[in-house]
Structure 1
């Protein structure tokens, strides 16, 4: 049992001297284009109108702002990890380094779900957009000829979406530089389309559409709320933020390019921040002009821009924007699929997935087999699943990955940097029982320790565990028991207030611990506030997901567990390192102007000092 637990918690060394087989060709512009291209797709061309009409009204711009803040917190955490671990694999590698193999495998498996579903949903959305230009001829014909009478599948098979995925697969297989060059061109067209919408929409904007009284809303409109700027209230804005969060999913594709970026420790964090700023400005501007051009209750939830431009009799602009939207969806499709083979490559390279997925083609310098399998899998899902079903299945894996990244940032920021010093040479001292005041002083660091040690690191980890569990309870309480959080139920209100106090105290305890002053090209500011807020927001958004999403998620996890326990746990590269029990110098670390060589044995406990 001890060996089994150790196998689940074994960690990957942050320092890896193995030469990468992937080509380092991506510049800051390439990385920023990848982040913008993979994110600025369905969100800007579909989501803004749908959320405005059904959930938030004109306050959809505030919903995008809240979603942007939540995404920015996660993006900052990703940026710090990219500066720490410039390797392919994104959050999978990050969690492997700091938490352990089993948790890392779960994150990697969920990232596969995110990227497969993201690719399939964009392909299906692109197919729908093209079909709309032909008055839905394909949908009508295929529904009549090949109906799918299965409740959890699409009404008809969509071969066009499969074709789109295969074409993108071919471009990604040719070479990373060639595919990113095409991505940059399409992203440029995408941004031009967004600018065209914002400028043209501003000419037709009428601020009165933000403040339409309820008595002026037509009687035949079924769900228009109470009118005004926020017709569905604060709850509508927050529900809209949960939906708008989907529009920011994709920037983490940048973090999978650690072995293909020219200067990963600098360019990846910077490109993540630049991408999020560009994406937010686009969403915020689109949401404003769309709701000012035409009343929120009369928006088209499926294709808002063609509908609005028809209403204002700008048919030429309508076609320009529609064609631009098709190019934008092509860009997002390429950006969504780009990280998928990289995650498969990283996991297969570590042995937790089938090793043939880690093979890199000598000519293209890309993980060719992983790319082909990714394309076929995403194409099949795009063919048989409906767009809304795909979107619903996507969020949970992403949110869980963001949560784990936030946790990992805190673990490493408060880690004991003296773990490099020879623990085998340190004198053994008998453990002395501590008094209550001594424990209290240690927990809140009233001793004013300036450098982390094993004790402060342990306090941080236990407190972080308490914070995460409490945050999970608070979030689900707000979602499912909010009626009891009132003065009418004093006991439940008192329990909820106590849970919030535990969150605040946990945050204070973590903030009081000394941090590891390692030099990085980028660090998350305001630690531990920003990572803890990221964890809390992500858990709340997970609580907003419906039961069917959780059921699909559990089924996906069971499939992943079977692969891991039947294959991955015994084929792990870290397991082979422990079996061989070979000590190899991995790095020279400078602490207090003294050089140490980090040399680990099989259990990574004995470290020899030089």
Structure 2
């Protein structure tokens, strides 16, 4: 009997070095996510359109509705369009690598599963733990932004919820002398999305598709209406002169802005976590990954060009830069639609990130690295309901208690580390297993994967040392968990499977 825990290294060796570097074969990874009756554990309910909408839902959110203005006003000026193009190109290389691995290893778990098949168990654990920073912390960050837009929209109708319940614990509020206790809207949206995800993948995808369609329609209206009011003089100079500070205008500002807006692309890789739920993963996953990234990069470039063309870039340093365009063109009726679209956009980001996190923990639990509760499927909905509920509660508490700046600092570095390892995994499998059938192949290998690694490392190098310090602490905690419980659980799982 071929078993999920058969490794490519000698089995039965209890030494630490042989245990923690155990790799899984591609076939073992596939078998580990099949139920006892031989059927896929998760329902194959997603086609190429739903997968592409999943990617667009994850990408179109904070980037368009929040980050564009600050990146233009502080770092790049009108050349922020180049920053989005650079960040998009870096992500495109990574997306090609994801597409090859996702079609070669069409299982849930994304980067975690790919690394398990190439670099071994300990690195798989590290990247799985690291992905919590991207998915869980990313969802919490976006939930806090969602809360801010909700409060802003309610204010448009003369409604003002208690400020102490719309800010993180101890955080500043709009009311003088009032400090935050708990961000109730941020926690509430996480719990609502969690309930939807527990009910089923198909139902969640339908809601996601509707919200993605609405926000794309509103963004399209903004591009068309704003495009009719562009003043070319606002684009001159296209690259403002450097102020003397690194990263503030000039071409160094374009690069720094690229690192800032990189956050806008976080989440497209969540498409690969749905590999086991894709109806035809070899065909549909490349379409979902590359298609969603192409659409979103084009939209980011178009929106940033309109913003800086309608309004002088210095006036865009505000949390709602699209509102500046609406004010400039004199269409207040569009303002409410934009705020609703922003709420829809941020909701889909939360949905996709929570979806992806549950699938990664599901894969880790199937390998014994996490408690079995994370691998349990709901008998009716066939979703990892227990895992989704635990994640939802944890993210809701985090979003309610922590401020957005502290949450956002950790997201990018975790994502970049995962992206770099995906590029390495492609090169490793090409050398180690050239005979494997690859429905999709990264062109110009190894040049493009190497460029992907270098791009990720360059962006990581631009992050402050405090972020690196927090990453080291986070990984140390993860290693302690792995060495005390995770490793033992994986070995027990392997022995049980071998009997």
TM-score by length of 2: 0.89
Does structure 1 residue 539 correspond to structure 2 residue 464? no
Matched, 1:345 2:362: yes
Of 160, 177, 180 in structure 1, the residue corresponding to residue 205 of structure 2 is: 180
- Give the stretch that moved more between structures: 261-270 or 275-284: 261-270
Hey, what's the Cα distance between the residues in 2 that align with 1:578 and 1:410?
Answer: 31
Seen in structure 2, the aligned counterparts of structure 1 residues 519 and 141 have a Cα distance that, compared at 3 Å, is closer
- Pairwise CA distance, 1:226: 6.1
Deviation for aligned residue 1:580: 7.5
What RMSD over aligned residues (CA atoms) do the two structures have, in Å? 2.4
Matched position secondary structure for 1:414: helix
| Cross-structure match for 1:276 | 293
Residue 376 of structure 1: aligned partner: 393
Q: 1:186-197 to 2 correspondence within 5 Å?
A: 186-197=211-222
> 2:15 matched to which residue of 1?
3
Structure 1: how far apart are the matches of 2:14 and 2:362?
30
Give the corresponding residue for 2:439. Answer: 521
Alignment match of 1:245 (pick from 262, 265, 268): 262
1:391-448 deviations in Å (ceiling 9; x for gaps): 1110111111111111110000111x4xxxxxxxxxxxxxxxxxxxxxxxxxxxxxxx
Measure how far apart 1:311 and its partner are: 3.3
Deviation at 1:271, TM superposition (A): 1.0
Moved more, 204-213 or 335-344: 204-213
Report the alpha carbon displacement of residue 571 of structure 1 after superposing the two structures with TM.
1.2
1:576–1:120 distance in 2 versus 1, CA, 3 Å? closer
The answer to whether 1:58 aligns with 2:58 is no
Which residue pairs with 2:130 in the alignment? 110
TM-score after normalising by structure 1? 0.73
Counterparts of 1:491-530 in structure 2 under 5 Å? 516-530=434-448
Per-residue CA distance 1:265-311 (angstroms, 9 max, x = gap): 22112210101111101101101000000000111331111133223
Give 1:134's match in structure 2, choosing from 141, 146, 154. 154
Residue of structure 2 equivalent to 1:24? 44
Q: Within 5 Å, which residues of 2 pair with 1:201-600?
A: 201-211=226-236, 232-415=249-432, 417=433, 516-572=434-490, 576-577=493-494
Deviation at 1:353, TM superposition (A): 1.1
Structure 1 CA distance for aligned equivalents of residues 233 and 345 of structure 2: 31
1-structure distance, mates of 2:266, 2:53: 15
8 Å contact from structure 2 (residues 211, 345) kept in 1: yes
Measure how far apart 1:118 and its partner are. 1.1
**Residues 231 and 115 of structure 1: CA distance in aligned 2, closer, same or farther (over 3 Å):** closer
Aligned-partner SS, 2:26: coil
Q: Corresponding residue for 1:603?
A: none
Q: Which structure's CA Rg is the greater one? A: 1
Which residue of 13, 20, 23 corresponds with 2:25? 13
Pair 1:77 & 2:102 matched: no
Say whether the 8 Å CA contact 2:141–2:404 is kept in structure 1. Answer: yes
Judging changes above 3 Å, is the alpha-carbon distance between structure 1 residues 141 and 370 closer, same or farther for their aligned structure 2 residues? closer
Map of 1:168 onto structure 2? 193
Q: Is the 8 A contact 1:53 1:301 kept in 2?
A: no
In structure 1, C-alpha distance between the alignment counterparts of 2:461 and 2:402, rounded to whole Å: 24
Partners of 1:27 and 1:70 in 2: how far apart?
26
Q: CA deviation at 1:555?
A: 2.1
- The 1:139–1:43 alpha-carbon spacing in structure 2 relative to 1, beyond 3 Å, is farther
Deviation, 1:137, is 3.7
Aligned to 1:36: 56
Q: Quickly say closer, same or farther: Cα 1:264–1:213, change in 2 above 3 A.
A: closer
| 1:580 to 1:44, Cα distance in 2 relative to 1, 3 A | closer
* 1:352/1:133 CA distance change after superposition, 3 Å: same
Change (3 A) 1:204 1:401: same
- Does the CA contact (< 8 Å) of 1:112 and 1:344 recur in 2? no
Q: How far apart are residue 174 of structure 1 and its match? A: 0.3
Give the C-alpha shift of residue 259 in structure 1. Answer: 1.4
**Which of 101, 104, 110 does residue 121 from structure 2 map onto?**
101
Shift, 1:577, TM fit: 3.5
Give the aligned partner of residue 604 of structure 1: none
**Larger RCO of the pair (alpha carbons < 8 Å, separation 6+):** 2
Check 1:559–1:315 CA distance in 2 against 1; reply closer, same or farther (3 A cut).
same
Deviates more, 1:136-145 or 1:341-350: 136-145
Residue 107 of structure 2 aligns to a residue whose secondary structure is coil
User: Any conservation in 1 of the 2:147–2:166 contact (CA below 8 Å)?
Assistant: no
Shift of 1:55: 0.9
Q: Deviations over 1:147-205 (max 9, x none)?
A: 459xxxx9552111000000000000000100011001111111111111110110111
Cα distance in 2, alignment partners of residues 239 and 373 from structure 1: 36
Contact 2:73 2:313 in 1 (8 A): yes
2:167 and 2:180 in contact (8 A); partners too:
no
Distance 1:148-1:226 versus aligned 2 partners, 3 A rule: closer
Q: Secondary structure at 1:157's aligned position in 2?
A: coil
Q: Which residue of 1 is the match for residue 139 of structure 2?
A: 119
Q: Aligned partners of 2:399, 2:241: CA distance in 1, in Å?
A: 33
Cα gap change, 1:84 to 1:317, in 2 (>3 Å)? same
C-alpha change, 1:2 and 1:213, in structure 2 (3 Å) is closer
Q: Give the Å deviation of 1:563.
A: 1.5
* Structure 2, unaligned runs of 5 or more: 1-12, 173-178
